[in-house]
Amino acid sequence: MKFEIQQEELQKALDIIANVVPTKTPMPLLTCILMETAGGKLKLSATNLDISITTATDKVEVKDDGRAAIPAGKLVPFVRSLRPGKVTLAQKGKDILVTCGKTRLTEKTMEVDKYPALKGVVEKDGLEVDARILIDMINDTAYAVSRDESRPALMGILWEIRPDQLTLVATDAHRLARSERAMDWKFTGEKNLIVDTAGLRQLSRIVSAMETEDGEEPQVTLFITENQLSFRAGETVLQVRLLEGPFPDYKAVIPGDNDKNVIADKADFAQAIRRVAITADRMTSQVRLGIEAGRMELSARSTEGSQSEDEIPVSYDGAALEIGFNFTYLQDILKNIRTEQVAISLRDPQCAALIKPVDEKGEDAGVLCLLMPLRLSGD
């Protein structure tokens, strides 16, 4: 195998797939990037067996067809360190030589024939969606996934695919995030999938590297198979494993009778939380919200005796209420809301709160966040 390519083009391709390569694994070959040249194209692949990415470019001058499994640990940082210019990769026996001007790296390759076979995607009945919308929906929900390996289904995001709508849901049992969007795609029936969150996070990296010649929003095509969800974005294909369920009946925990509705400026709310959280108890991370007509008082108290208070104006004309929340969870929600205002729907100090983004027209953006309260300290 031998080819010449511009440093910028090679780095872009490596950046798309490099994050999938595991640093610690009982299978050393998985620490490699598979490079293949054929038909005037360069194809790069990487996998950790749960997530696989393949990308290709024709902005390359192929001298000799071939394939090699190259350890990513030195190749990727070496290419990133190079100045812009022509890079030559040439395989000589078990070595790969990477040359750019007078700079050169020699690295041992591994047995390419033993590299895990990557299943190709059967590109049939694909569902096309605006890539930016999909990335927004993933970001709307991914922060709420569980890290509890004893509940693997909660480590993924639920996809509810319908003929005219896509809904993504994530929960860790303390909080829940749901994002809904209307879809205009050719899909019949109903499909529920639990998709590995780590794989979905790779999609953002892929979309960021995409280019559209006419300036239009990039498109992603989804392909559903029995045990994986695949995405094609230009010359890149991402394959993500599906997780086994069941996923909890999330609709049953969303309250329908919260009657106390508060509208707050997101930036004011977030800044006040950050200030009072300085004295929050380290074990509970509790921040107390005292809400009454036109104002919200935030406070926190540590076990050492320090305490802090802040106050922000809000739109509210109901009965006074005090409720406690984990400030980290509140911050996560606000970080992932893109509107300037948020609506907080409450009932009492023991019931879940619903938090939604509110746009300029006073309408929510199809995003709902549920947060369980904490028992108020001293109660």
Mean pLDDT by 10 residues, the chain (379 residues): 97 94 93 97 96 96 97 97 97 96 96 88 85 94 94 96 97 97 91 95 83 68 92 93 94 95 97 97 95 97 92 96 97 96 96 93 83 84
In this prediction, residue 251 carries a pLDDT of: 96
Residue with tokens 């591994």: 110
Name the CATH architecture for the domain at 127-250: Roll (3.10)
Integer Cα distance of 145 and 125 in angstroms: 29
In this prediction, residue 362 carries a pLDDT of: 64
Nearest to 166 by CA among 199, 139, 143, 193: 193
In this prediction, residue 305 carries a pLDDT of: 87
Q: Which residues pair with 43 in a beta bridge?
A: 36, 56
Peptide bond into 248 cis (omega under 30): no
Token digits of residue 122? 């059967």
Task: Specify the CATH number for 254-371; select among 3.40.50.1820, 3.40.50.1100, 3.40.50.300, 3.10.150.10.
Answer: 3.10.150.10
For 285, which DSSP code? Answer: -
The topology under which CATH files domain 2-114 is DNA Polymerase III; Chain A, domain 2 (3.10.150)
End-to-end CA distance of the chain: 71
Residue 312 CB burial class (10 angstroms; 0-12, 13-18, ≥19) = middle
Integer Cα distance of 198 and 281 in angstroms: 31
Please give the radius of gyration of the chain, using alpha carbons only, rounded to the nearest integer.
25
Domain spans in the chain, listed from the N-terminal domain onward: 2-114, 127-250, 254-371
Token digits of residue 7? 């440093």
**Count of alpha carbons within 13 angstroms of residue 25, beta-carbon side:** 15
Q: In what order do the strands lie in the sheet with 156-162?
A: 191-196, 156-162, 165-171, 175-182, 367-371, 353-358, 341-346, 260-265, 307-315, 295-301, 286-292, 321-326
Domains 2-114 and 254-371 share a fold: yes
Token digits of residue 250? 């999330």
Contact present, 135 and 204 (Cβ < 8 Å): yes
Integer Cα distance of 251 and 253 in angstroms: 6
